[in-house]
């Protein structure tokens, strides 16, 4: 597997784990590894589904389709898995999930695109 594919997957997973860690901390749900895993696994599974559907390995840092697949997979499929697993959800939580994961999963790709463009065109 190409290093860029692995790095993109790690960056995406870190975004999802950051979302969960911040949420758990904000809501005073504890910071244990078990608690973090319990909350994160549906979103990580959704992330993997979304990335696989768009075959992100072709262009792992691209906003479209990889970024959109990561975002919608982690948020939408992750939320569906969360509900199926018996974990609660609410409309405000769905909105926060979409916003945070969209900002982070698309944001790092946008930053990489801008940095790459600046590096290739110079000052």
Distance of CA 103 to the CA centre of its chain: 9
How many structural domains comprise the chain? 1
Residue range 24-80, pLDDT digits in tens: 898 877 778 999 999 999 999 999 999 999 999 999 999 999 999 999 999 999 999
Token digits of residue 101:
């994961």
pLDDT in tens, 72-89: 999 999 999 999 999 988
State residue 118's pLDDT score.
81
**pLDDT surpasses 70 at 122:** no
DSSP 8-state symbol, 60: T
Q: Count CA within 13 A, CB hemisphere, residue 22.
A: 11
Q: pLDDT band for position 123 (50/70/90)?
A: low
- Cα angle at 100 between 95 and 101, to 5 degrees? 100
Give me the domain span that covers residue 104.
Answer: 3-121
Tell me what the mean pLDDT of segment 106-115 comes to: 94
| pLDDT for res 98 | 97
């Amino acid at each position: 597997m190409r290093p860029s594919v692995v790095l993109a997957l790690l960056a995406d997973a870190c975004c999802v784990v950051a979302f969960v860690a911040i949420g758990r901390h904000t809501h005073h749900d504890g910071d244990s590894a078990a608690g973090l895993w319990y909350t994160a696994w549906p979103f990580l599974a959704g992330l993997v589904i979304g990335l696989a559907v768009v075959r992100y390995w072709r262009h792992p840092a691209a906003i479209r389709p990889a970024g959109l697949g990561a975002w919608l997979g982690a948020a939408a499929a992750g939320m569906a898995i969360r509900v199926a697993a018996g974990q609660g959800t609410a409309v405000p939580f769905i909105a926060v999930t979409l916003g945070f994961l969209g900002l982070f999963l698309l944001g790092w790709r946008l930053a990489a695109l801008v940095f790459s463009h600046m590096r290739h065109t110079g000052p």
